[in-house]
Amino acid sequence: MSSACCSATGASQAQPFSSAREARQAIRRGDWVRHTSGLAPRNAQANLAILPEKLAADFLRFCQRNPKPCPLLAVSETGDPFLPTLGEDIDIRGDVPLYRVWRNGKLVEEVTDITPFWRDDLVSFLLGCSFSFEHALIDAGIELRHVTQGRNVAMYRTNIETIPAGPFHGPMVVSMRPMTPANAIRAVQLTSRVPRVHGAPVHLGDPALIGIADIMKPDFGEAVEILPGELPVFWACGVTPQSVVMSMSPEFCITHAPGYMLITDILNSDLSLG
C-alpha cells in the first residue's frame, strides 16, 4: 500500500487557499495530501464511490434507500471523469487528496491520482459530507475538537444495518464529535436543516448501544478526547460505502480515503432547507 497519506496533527488547520478551485488545483498537483476537514469551509465537500457500470443501478438504489449515510449530490456519466454540476473544472481522477483502490472487497492501494486505474465503464457517485455542516456549527460557537486539534474526524463502523439493494449491504459508518449537552441540542437543530449532508445525528451518548466497543479506537480517522460532561454525538457518514465494499466484495471499486474529500464549488448555504 502506498505511503502517500500524511495526516495533519497539532494546531488547527490553516486556510491556505482563497477558493475551492484553488484548493482543488493544489490537490491535483499533489501539493495537498492531507485531510480536508476545515478546508474551504463555506464549500460543500463530497464523499466518493466509483463503481463499474454493471453495479451502478444497484448502488443508486442503495443510496436512495439509505439517504442518511449516502445522500447523493451527483452521479457521473459512464466513463466520464468530469462533474460539471459540482464544479466546471472538476476531474475526479486527481481532485481528491487520497484515494483507495479496492479489489474483491480488499483495500489494495492508496494513491493520489487514479488516472492509471480509470476505465470506460466507471461511474462516479458523489455523496454529501458532514464536513459541510461544520462551518455552521463553528459559527454557532460549538467547538469541533478535531478541527481545533487539526485532526481527521473519528469514524466508526456500527451495528446499524443499512437497507440492502441488490448485492449492496453492510453496517452504517458514523462520524463522532464530542459536545456538551447544550451544544448537542443546538447541533441537532442546525444539522436537521441539511439532509443532503447527512442531516441530524443518528445517535447521542453511549457508543456501546450502536456497537462501538472502544470510543478511543476509531475504525477510520483519529480519536479525540471526550471531556467530563460531554456526550459523543454521532452522524451517519459517507464512509459507509467503504463498509459496504468490505461486506459485498465487488471485483473493483475506488473510494476516497476517509476524511480526504472532494471540495466542490457548491456553497454549503445552497444545501440548507432554510
Q: Which class for 14: exposed (0-12), middle (13-18), buried (19 or more C-beta within 10 A)?
A: exposed
Provide the 3-class DSSP secondary structure of residue 158.
strand
pTM of structure: 0.88
Please work out, in degrees rounded to the nearest 5, the angle formed at the alpha carbon of residue 121 by the alpha carbons of 119 and 124: 85
Measure the CA–CA gap between 143 and 75, rounded to whole angstroms.
Answer: 33
Quick check: helix, strand or coil at residue 220? strand
Q: Which has the closest alpha carbon to 268: 40, 82, 27, 42?
A: 42
pLDDT in tens, 150-176: 899 999 999 999 999 999 999 999 999
**Superfamily designation of domain 132-236:** PSTPO5379-like domain (3.30.2040.10)
Number of Cβ within 10 Å of residue 35's Cβ equals 27
- Given this structure, which CATH class describes domain 20-131+248-271? alpha beta
Place of cell 446499524: 160
pLDDT 10s digits, 16-61 = 788 899 999 999 999 999 989 878 888 999 999 999 999 999 999 9
Residues of the chain with CATH 3.30.2040.10: 132-236
Handedness of CA 258, 263, 264, 268 (dihedral sign): positive
Burial environment of residue 101 by CB neighbours within 10 A (0 to 12, 13 to 18, 19 or more): buried
Write out pLDDT tens, residues 66-124. Answer: 999 999 999 999 999 999 999 989 999 999 999 999 999 999 999 999 999 999 999 99
Where in the sequence of the chain do the CATH 3.40.1640.10 domains occur?
20-131+248-271
